[in-house]
Amino acid sequence: MGISPIQYRPWKGERTALNLRVYVILKSIFRHGLKSTGVKILLILAFLFVYAFQFVSVLLFGHETLDAGEMSSNFNAFGLALFAILLTAVITSDLISEDLSSKSFVLYFSRAIKTRDYLVGKAGGAILIMSLLCFLPPVLLAVVSILTQSGSDYWSSIKVLGSTVVAGVFVTVFFVPYGLMLSSLTKRRSYAAVGTFMSFFVLTIISGAFSEFDSAWRVISPAESLSYAVDWIFGQSLPSYINEGALFAFLASFIIVPALVLYWRVQRQAVGK
Partner 1 sequence: MSAAVDDVGQQTPVREPAHEDGPPGIGSYLFSARDLTVSFGPVIALDGFSVDIPRGIVGLLGPNGAGKSTFIKASLGLVTPKKGAIFVGGLDSRTQSLQIRDGVGYMPEHDCLVPSMNAVELVSYFGLISGMMTRDSMQRSHEVLDFVGVGEERYRQIKSYSTGMKQKVKLAQAIVHDPPLLFLDEPTSGMDPQGREEMLELVRMIGSSDKTVLVSSHILQEVELVCDYIVIISNGKLVQEGETKTLVAGEEGVQSLTIRGDEGSLTRFVRMLGEACEIMEAKEEGGKQMTLLIRGCRDGSRIFGLARDSGVQIRRYQPERLDLEEVFLRSFRGGGKDGN
Q: Name the site residues for partner 1 (rule: CB under 8 A).
A: 1-2, 5-18, 20-21, 24-25, 28, 98-99, 102-114, 270-273
CB of 5 or CB of 62, closer to partner 1: 5
Work out whether the CA dihedral 150, 152, 154, 155 comes out positive or negative.
negative
CB of 104 to partner 1, least distance (A): 5
CB of 168 to partner 1, least distance (A): 30
Q: Smallest Cα–Cα separation from 134: which of 65, 88, 101, 183?
A: 88
How far apart CA 198 and CA 208 sit, in angstroms, is 15
CB of 95 or CB of 180, closer to partner 1: 95
CB of 127 to partner 1, least distance (A): 19
CB of 105 or CB of 170, closer to partner 1: 105
CB of 21 to partner 1, least distance (A): 6
CB of 95 or CB of 182, closer to partner 1: 95
CB of 195 to partner 1, least distance (A): 21
Q: Taking the chain, what is the end-to-end CA distance rounded to the nearest angstrom? A: 37
Q: Is 221 in contact with 75 (CB distance < 8 Å)? A: no
How far apart CA 31 and CA 196 sit, in angstroms, is 22
CB of 100 to partner 1, least distance (A): 11
CB of 37 or CB of 240, closer to partner 1: 37
CB of 154 to partner 1, least distance (A): 42
CB of 110 or CB of 240, closer to partner 1: 110
- C-beta atoms surrounding 187 within 10 Å: 15
CB of 240 or CB of 273, closer to partner 1: 273
Work out whether the CA dihedral 133, 139, 143, 149 comes out positive or negative.
positive
